[in-house]
Structure 1
Amino acid sequence: MKIQRVVSDAKGRSDAVSFNGLAYVVAYDPNAASGIEAQTRNSLQFLDAKLAEVRSNKEALLQARVYLSDMKMKADMDEIWCEWIGTSKNWPQRACVGADLGDDVTLIEIVVIAVQKPEAL
């Protein structure tokens, strides 16, 4: 089986990689919007696009890790997440972790593992 890579604009990494029926995707706000609500919405939109590139979607998520630069933002992020993820049939196993994301602009990164879908999504 061949490894598929969706190369990132950032040197040395991919936004998504798929192999053997699984997709591994990282999402962030490419616009670095102001505030956790906007960054969460933009990150989830980016995640939807990258999942589609590797023939998957949010209904096929197995696991998600949400990294926040400040855990005080978790409730606001959760509100947007729950709006996006929908009913419990879509809920992945999820953890939320406080992390230094490397700058004062990035508030959230999301890392997921999903099952790839057949060609006809």
Structure 2
Amino acid sequence: MKRFPVEGKGRCSAVESGGLVYAVATDPHCADGLTGQTRNTLDELDKVLVKAGSGKTALIQATVYLSDISAKPAMDAVWSEWIGPEENWPQRACVGVDLDAGYLIEVVVVATVL
């Protein structure tokens, strides 16, 4: 098992274990608006996955947490551009939740190691 710690006590951006990568990302810049935060979050997720030996083409499952579920169509537009062709599509769920102040999106994924 390999862990990829981040700032903040008691957490990692990813864990690789048994051929799987478990990862999480948010916008490190906390941009204004969901579209910008979604782009930044997915860019960050790309970096985390690559660091852990995976990538978006290896995604199995994704959970997208949104501070305002009614804004899902805006997130979907960015997600669809980022994820690419149908063969890349993971099983995905979107959930409306309270997030830390300033954060509009958080993405949690499971992927295979490439």
TM range (shorter): over 0.9
* TM-score normalised by L of structure 2: 0.98
Deviates more, 1:90-99 or 1:4-13: 4-13
Runs of 5+ in structure 1 lacking a partner? none
Partner of 1:27: 25
1:16 pairs with one of 14, 17, 39: 14
Partner of 2:2: 4
Partner of 2:111: 114
Give the CA deviation at 1:8: 1.1
Cα deviation 1:49-82 (Å, max 9, x = unaligned) = 0000111000000000000000111000000000
Partner of 1:56: 54
Aligned counterparts of 2:94 and 2:24: Cα–Cα separation in 1: 14
Aligned residues: 114
Aligned residue identity for 1:15: S
Name the larger-Rg structure.
Answer: 1
Cα deviation 1:78-99 (Å, max 9, x = unaligned) = 0000000001000000000001
Aligned counterparts of 2:62 and 2:19: Cα–Cα separation in 1: 17
Runs of 5+ in structure 2 lacking a partner? none
Aligned counterparts of 2:8 and 2:64: Cα–Cα separation in 1: 20
**What RMSD over aligned residues (CA atoms) do the two structures have, in Å?**
0.6
Aligned counterparts of 1:87 and 1:102: Cα–Cα separation in 2: 32
Partner of 2:34: 36
Give the CA deviation at 1:40: 0.2
* TM-score normalised by L of structure 1: 0.93
Aligned counterparts of 1:73 and 1:66: Cα–Cα separation in 2: 12
